[in-house]
Structure 1
Amino acid sequence: MKWTKLHTVSLYTLLAVILLCCLPDIADSGLIQVMAPKIIEVRNATSGKKLTVSCKVDPGLLPDETVVYWLVNDSFIETAFPKGRVHVDTNDHKKYIQSDLVFKCVCPQDFWSNFACIALSPTGVDKKSIQLPEIKLHAKLLCKTRTVRRIRNNQS
């Protein structure tokens, strides 16, 4: 029987499944050193109309099985900001994954919130937390809410 492309793909799939199932056991035995995902950097940056917090992750041995996500005060971003005021943009590069937390506008409660970038794969997990520094923001970045107006009026 000739090996066709279908057989080759099936063989690779089978090997990948075996590797994923056995990798934790092999790592625990100490036979090989398994590199878990590692967060390289978490940083704040402002760019014109948006505030962005970036998380750069080295995915380790399993880049296709590595997931990077953000939490705010232990809740998913989509749950905490259902209207999309804050959203996540993730880009896969050759050697790393970059996940950006993008604020359309910033509200006072954002400065008191705890944001966490989490990298998760079958080989391990890494987590870094960050709080927004109370920096001077361009007026376009401030949320137009009653709370912000009240704070401004009280400071006047």
Structure 2
Amino acid sequence: MAPCPRSDAMALQPPRITRLSTPAQPPQMGSNVSVSCEAESALPELTLLYWLGNGSFVEQLQPNVREGAVREETCGSLATLRRDLHFTPFSFQDLSTNFTCVALSPSGVDIRKLQWVPFGADPSNEGGGMG
């Protein structure tokens, strides 16, 4: 007999990235830096959490960038997944790479772009458009 489908409406919800943690200060060139991405999912066993750099898997980037293991914490019907991205060491090339955290499950996808705060910039000033 086939297992019963989940009656939980949350199972139909796509995963949701809830937090992207970066250092409080812009990273210093040559220092070791880690950032983390957290996502909630009602289907943790079917959810992938991974990082992309310029649209490619980070393993295909420079050798100083690597993903950590996915960590999972269950709370009620939702699970929180967390995956770190490690820069050993941080380089100028990393500053100009577009990193994206992706949470993907059969019920949908959520993405969050990593934005490095430029040196000397005010992070509360989310300035303007393209022209």
TM-score, scaled relative to structure 1: 0.61
2:95 corresponding residue in structure 1: 111
- RCO higher in 1 or 2 (8 Å CA, sep ≥ 6)? 2
Note if 1:64 corresponds to 2:45: yes
Deviation at 1:108, TM superposition (A): 0.8
Deviation at 1:132, TM superposition (A): 2.4
- 1:22-70 Cα distance to aligned partner (Å, 9 max, x none): x9xxxxxxxx572110000112137xx62111101001x2111000010
1:55 corresponding residue in structure 2: 37
Structure 1's consecutive aligned runs of 4 or more residues displaced over 3 angstroms after TM superposition are none
The structure richer in helix per residue is: 1
Unaligned stretches of 5+ residues in structure 1: 1-10, 24-31, 137-156
For residues 1-150 of structure 1, what are the structure 2 equivalents within 5 Å?
11=1, 14-15=2-3, 19=5, 34-45=12-23, 50-59=32-41, 61-81=42-62, 83=63, 85-89=64-68, 90-94=70-74, 95-134=79-118
Unaligned stretches of 5+ residues in structure 2: 25-30, 121-131
CA distance in 2: counterparts of 1:52 and 1:107, whole angstroms:
13
Instruction: Kindly provide the amino acid, as one letter, of the partner of residue 57 in structure 2.
Output: F
CA distance in 2: counterparts of 1:69 and 1:36, whole angstroms:
15
Instruction: Kindly provide the amino acid, as one letter, of the partner of residue 60 in structure 2.
Output: T
Q: Could you say what secondary structure the match of 2:21 adopts?
A: strand
Instruction: Kindly provide the amino acid, as one letter, of the partner of residue 92 in structure 1.
Output: E
CA distance in 1: counterparts of 2:87 and 2:107, whole angstroms:
31
CA distance in 2: counterparts of 1:52 and 1:72, whole angstroms:
15
Query: Cα RMSD between the aligned structures?
Result: 2.6
Identity among equivalent positions (%) equals 30
Instruction: Kindly provide the amino acid, as one letter, of the partner of residue 3 in structure 2.
Output: L
2:129 corresponding residue in structure 1: none
